Chains A and B, each alone.
Chain A
Amino acid sequence: MSETSFSINDLLRRKMQTSLVIISLALCVASTLFLLLFAQKMGFGISSVVEGKLTAGFSLVFSPFITLLVILISAAGIVMISFTAFIMTSQRTRDIGLMKAAGCPNNLLFGYFFTELLIVSLVGCFVGTILGILLDMASTSLLNGLGLQFSQQPASPWMPIAVFVSFFALCLILGGTPVLSAIRAEPARAFSPAHYLGLGKEPGFKVVSKSGISLRIAVRTLVRHKSATIRIVLCLSIVFLLVTVAVAGGLIAEDTTGSWVEKAVGRNTLLIAHQDMVNQYKLLLSEFYEGQKAIQFNYTDERYLIPSSLSSQLRSLNGTMGVDARLVLEEPVKEVPGIIYGSSTEQTTSVGDSRQGESLVVGVDPGNVLNDWSLNGRFLAENQSAEAVVGDSLAGKLFSSPLNQKIRISNEDLSVVGVCLDPINNGNVTYVPITTLQTVTGVSGPNVLMVKLDSSANETDVLKKISSIVANAGFQVFPLDEAVDKSVGFLNFIWSTIMFLPLFSLITASLSLLGYVMLTIDEQRQEFGILRALGAKPKTVLAIVSAQSLIVLLGSYAVGIAFGIITTLLILVQEPLVTTYTVIEIAAWLLLALAVTFASSVYPAIRFAKKPLLETMTQS
């Protein structure tokens, strides 16, 4: 019989096992391809949504996040395919041993089983690729129906081909290895469970006690099937790592970036300025979430200057915690070339390229500043007049190493002491001491006041009093909470889009576990049949399979979550903000992940437990 006809006949006669392996392979390829296509599309989608918006520092949080998810998705796909290929061929090593014992030549044997592997891998990977593309199209339509704007076309048309080719090759390599190893082994070894199950045993005869018998039997089975157990734990650990990074990373990053905005703009803070200035300030803040460019504006107009008497009046008012007087201008900012001394290298280096950019320049009194920016470096010192803190976008435009350099504003050189994350003017901002700015520009007073309200005071009363004082002086009040809410809302929108990725990862994890449970039940069906014949009830078999799934799940869950949290906190989000609410939210998501994957794994066990006893005892 030729290799092909043997293989086709063999596969057709073992319909159930063949279908299970093809389904598992197809699910694995489909889920990986879908996640890769979706992540790529989401990356493009987010880039187009945030184009011209967000500051460089905020955008930097998203890109490594999506890159890491793509790496994890690929790794999970590779491990899953290796597991499926292992199960597929390890089921046949016994037959290989028997055929070897019957005198079948090794080359013919390899031909038979490698052709089977080739056929199954080709069909599984092809079906998976088509399914992956269809899933991507379906989910894109679904999300667009929810108001998002994702392209229907795959972000990269080569991606499905690349995934098909790499997974097909992986199947052949990973599945071919056990076949080759069984062919090289002595026949008796090849058909011994010690070889094809990796059967191991703990020393001594231990009686399984009366309590928790299903659990103890499940543990014993998992320990004995150590090769398969190690592989599935590894596989699911990566899947849970992916889910944890996506869920925990997403939620922590969402809260952290939200807090950056709150700290930079100011929560519970009022902006007091001339009506034109208020409108201009709103425009400057809206660049972060609407990408609307601020119009040409004469900041130095005399009408906008705020008299010191108004500041004093507001400072003395009950219900305010502080008044921060600022001079807001627009000025060209230049990079100053210079030579710096590196203490670690003990060498001098030339820095600076005379780059130039338009920047919003904000003069502040360092001792009265109300905001608390997320900073790299430090904020302006009270007694230093020649210092500056630049916004993250401006720092990216002008400097390669901002903290070692100087900027020039109107012929005044200022040392850059910090880089702040600030949504105003989309991060194109420079903070300098107000006295220095007044000196170099000749503007005599501030044009903006920030007033921090005492949260313990009656907000409505205080606001009413302030509005009345400010209106009498010819100025306007604008509560900055409105701008903070809009900025945070925009960040939340982006993160909630990203959160579809863990949701889909969870679904694919469930499908992978479903494939694993189907294969392992099939592998143990005769064993379960014997158990039932000896007096185990169907629900006991169900309990054993469920306990096996739960142990594997919990083991993988612990490893995945531990590494996921470490990866999130150490790599993804710098200075993460983790509140009790965030922890509860993450815990709820991860528990949901566990429940969904466990529930999906129980379904094949329920179906199996309902089968007639004689059917379970006979190998199909």
Chain B
Amino acid sequence: MKEIMTVVSASSLGKIYEANGVKVEVLKDIDFDVKRGEFTIIDGPSGSGKTTLLNIVGSIDKPTSGKIIVFGEDLRARDEDFLASFRCNNIGFVFQSYNLVSTLTVAENIAFPMEWARKNEDHIRGRVDELLGLVDLQHRAEHFPFQLSGGEQQRVAFARALANDPPLLLVDEPTGNLDVKTSSKIIQILSTLKEDGKTIIVATHDEHISELAQQRLCLEDGMLMSENE
């Protein structure tokens, strides 16, 4: 089977939200590609459409117009069942607000995507230990999310996103709410993942993360202002 080199391909992508009868055009005519193993950042001021673009790439949201192809699949044309399996096996998502399940412990939150992927128990236990080691949270395994600091929750979110070893990692503002010390830990994790050859797209303002980028997409008012390789 021919290996797909372009992981993400967006063409003429547009997104319009409608609230209280008012239409808001969040993304306008976006075109870009992300290649396998590439580290891409999406930059831009708040409200420029970074999270919406990540959501569309991650198949959590659908574009109003245009085409989005990820790993050769036209996501706009696929139904929810397909997209669920697709997300489970191909995409790791780190949300801006962490989105950890409040009723599950750290270990359970990390194990969760693997349970969906029907991995066996030994594999899940081993992988949870490995990922807890990666994010340096072995001592927090049995704690609930509300018992963790923001930085720790962010690291759990990373571990969870990596659980099924997805080829594409989408990260939304990973250091936005964190102090310098905690941010550097997150950057270190991203750097390690980049070295491992993961395709990573990060929405961020953080200059330290930008330094890792091989491609930089600048959004302003929903439009792609520049695309720097």
Contacts and interface: CB of A to CB of B under 8 A. Distances in A.
Contacts of A526: 99
B116 interface: yes
A540 B81 CA distance: 10
Interface residues of A, number: 35
A162 to B, nearest CB: 40
B84 A536 contact: yes
Contacts of A201: 105, 144
Residue with the highest number of chain B CB atoms closer than 10 Å, among A199, A213, A535, A612: A535
B144 A199 contact: yes
Contacts of A128: none
Interface in A182-207: 192-194, 197, 199, 201, 205, 207
A538 B84 contact: yes
A465 B15 CA distance: 95
B219 to A, nearest CB: 18
Given A205-B105, A534-B113, A535-B87, A193 B60 contact: no
B108 to A, nearest CB: 7
A613 B105 contact: no
B101 A527 contact: yes
Given A207-B121, A213-B116, A527 B102 contact: yes
A324 B118 CA distance: 77
Interface of A is mostly: helix
Interface string A534-577: 11111110000000000000000000000000000000000000
A118 interface: no
Contact of A535 (B117, B121, B141, B142): B117
Contacts of A210: 115, 118-120
A263 interface: no
Contacts of B89: 535
B112 interface: yes
Contacts of B128: 205
B39 to A, nearest CB: 22
A614 interface: yes
B128 to A, nearest CB: 8
Interface in A504-522: none
Nearest to A201: B105
A411 interface: no
Given A535-B84, A614-B60, A225 B103 contact: yes
Interface string B78-112: 00110011011100010100011111110110011
Contacts of A192: 146
A153 B111 CA distance: 61
B115 A213 contact: yes
Contacts of B80: 537-538, 613
A221 to B, nearest CB: 6
A534 B87 contact: yes
Contact of B99 (A197, A220, A533, A536): A533
Contacts of B101: 527, 530-531
A580 interface: no
B81 to A, nearest CB: 5
Contacts of B115: 207-208, 210, 213, 217
Contacts of B81: 537-539
A209 B118 CA distance: 8
A16 to B, nearest CB: 15
A224 interface: yes
B52 to A, nearest CB: 9
B148 to A, nearest CB: 12
A494 interface: no
B125 interface: yes
Nearest to B102: A193
B61 interface: yes
B210 interface: no
A533 B93 contact: yes
Nearest to A529: B99
Contacts of B124: 207
A53 interface: no
B60 A613 contact: yes
A532 interface: yes
A217 B112 CA distance: 10
B144 A193 contact: yes
Nearest to A195: B146
Contacts of B142: 205
Contacts of B87: 533-535
A332 to B, nearest CB: 77
Nearest to A224: B103
A169 B205 CA distance: 53
Contact of B103 (A193, A538, A540, A617): A193
Contacts of A194: 144, 146
A539 to B, nearest CB: 7
Contacts of A225: 103
Nearest to B121: A207
B227 to A, nearest CB: 26
Nearest to A532: B84
B67 interface: no
Contacts of A533: 58, 60, 87, 93, 95, 99
B48 interface: no
A471 B138 CA distance: 101
A562 B129 CA distance: 46
Interface in A207-232: 207-210, 213, 217, 220-221, 224-225
B28 interface: no
26 contacts: A193-B144, A194-B146, A199-B144, A201-B144, A205-B108, A205-B125, A207-B115, A208-B111, A210-B115, A213-B115, A220-B104, A224-B104, A532-B84, A533-B87, A534-B112, A534-B116, A535-B84, A535-B87, A535-B89, A535-B117, A535-B164, A537-B80, A538-B81, A613-B60, A613-B61, A617-B99
Given A208-B115, A537-B80, A613-B60, 19 more contacts: A192-B146, A199-B103, A205-B111, A205-B125, A207-B111, A221-B103, A527-B103, A533-B60, A534-B116, A535-B85, A535-B88, A535-B89, A535-B116, A536-B88, A537-B85, A538-B80, A612-B61, A613-B80, A614-B61
Q: Identify the 9 closest CB pairs spanning chains A and B, nearest first.
A: A535-B88, A224-B103, A537-B84, A205-B107, A535-B116, A207-B121, A207-B124, A534-B113, A210-B118
